[in-house]
Amino acid sequence: MILVMTNIESVPGKKIVEHFGLVCGSTVRAKNAFKDFGAGLKNLVGGELKAYTELMNESRKQAIDRLKCQAENLGANAIINVRFSTSNIANGAAELYVYGTAVRVE
Amino acid sequence: MADLIQLAVLLAVGYFVGSRIEKKHYRSIKEREKKLLGCAVVTGDDFLEDRPVRTSRLVSGSAVISSDYFKMIVGNLLNFFGGEVSVFESLLDRARREAILRMKEEAPAADIILNLRIETSTIAGKNSCEALAYGTAVYYEK
């Protein structure tokens, strides 16, 4: 059973039969000092900081995994209205938060 | 004196290498935007056609773009006087457009991407910004 995620209020083509309420997942991650140093050097000439893009993607994936785990435990097979939120808590560390509504669709 | 020379060298390197990287990035953005023009993206959620839907899923893309040394110094100077800080505008523009492109590249065959949301955050102390774009990709029954 694949868990469907959407960021709209329905799952297109499906009917919602049961609501389970809010589910969320979050993670705080930091890059190691060497990669931080590398990013500092890259700061001189600008451009994309690949190490940080990667960091954000990895942690977002982990937050989503936690969200899905919570929804599965409730017996849901879809999460609607998914929202992301990011905050910086310290130098080089970021908190990724993802939340949505767990539902069962048919 | 040595400090001044160091600053001048850093500014020059930041300016010349930075603007080259930026030009290259914009070229690649424009090229890929043209290629992905066929994939419609809307910010609303009621653009569904009256056709059976095969599948739908969440797609997202993100990019972290950093400023160069020249932009940082000029930006801080402009900050002092207030008003428009034009050097940072291209930074955010690049990050957002790159994020939208990466989101589209995740679902190039989608018929439509609904409810696009863009979120921007800064990575503390790094003079850079992160843009995240996400939406719901919908595939109709063929």
* Residues in Cβ contact with B105 at an 8 Å cutoff, skipping those fewer than 6 apart: B32, B36, B61
Give how far A57 is from chain B: nearest CA, Å.
Answer: 7
A·B CB contacts under 8 A: 134
Which residue from A minimizes the CA distance to B71? A46
What are the structural domain ranges in chain A? 4-105
- State how far the Cα of B126 lies from the Cα of A4, in Å rounded to an integer: 36
- State how far the Cα of A77 lies from the Cα of A55, in Å rounded to an integer: 28
User: Is the per-residue pLDDT at A1 higher than 70?
Assistant: no
Give start and end residues of each alpha helix (H) in A46-93: 50-74
Do A82 and B65 lie within an 8 Å CB cutoff?
no
- Residue of B26, B93, B130, B139 to mutate when probing chain A, most A C-beta within 10 A: B130
Q: Are B141 and A14 in contact (CB under 8 A)?
A: no
Q: What's the CATH superfamily of A4-105?
A: Hypothetical protein apc22750. Chain B (3.30.110.70)
Region A39-58 average pLDDT: 85
Q: Measure the CA dihedral A36/A38/A40/A41, to 10°.
A: 170
Percent of chain B with pLDDT over 70: 98
**B109-123 b/e (C-beta count within 10 Å ≥ 16 → b):** ebbbbbbbeebebeb
Which residue from A minimizes the CA distance to B48? A12
Question: 10 Å Cβ neighbour count for A62?
Answer: 16
Per-residue pLDDT at A92: 65
- State how far the Cα of B130 lies from the Cα of A51, in Å rounded to an integer: 12
What mean pLDDT, rounded, does chain A reach? 88
**pTM (2 d.p.):** 0.90
Question: Residue A13: which pLDDT band, with cuts at 50, 70 and 90?
Answer: confident
Which residue from A minimizes the CA distance to B73? A44
Do B67 and A53 lie within an 8 Å CB cutoff?
no
Per-residue pLDDT at A2: 82
Give how far A43 is from chain B: nearest CA, Å.
Answer: 5
Region A76-95 average pLDDT: 86
Contact map slice: A 56-85 vs B, CB within 8 A? 56-57, 60, 82-85
Question: Residue A72: which pLDDT band, with cuts at 50, 70 and 90?
Answer: very high
Q: What does the pLDDT look like over B40-64, one tens digit per residue?
A: 899 998 888 888 999 999 999 999 9
Which residue from A minimizes the CA distance to B67? A46
ipTM for the predicted complex: 0.88
Measured between alpha carbons, how far apart are the two ends of chain B, in Å? 70
Q: What is the CA radius of gyration of chain B?
A: 19
| Domains along the sequence of chain B with CATH | 2-140 (3.30.110.70)
What mean pLDDT, rounded, does chain B reach? 90
Do B64 and A60 lie within an 8 Å CB cutoff?
no
Query: Looking at the partner chain, which of B45, B72, B119 has a beta carbon nearest the beta carbon of A86?
Result: B119
SS3 state at A69: helix
Per-residue pLDDT at B84: 86
Per-residue pLDDT at B125: 62
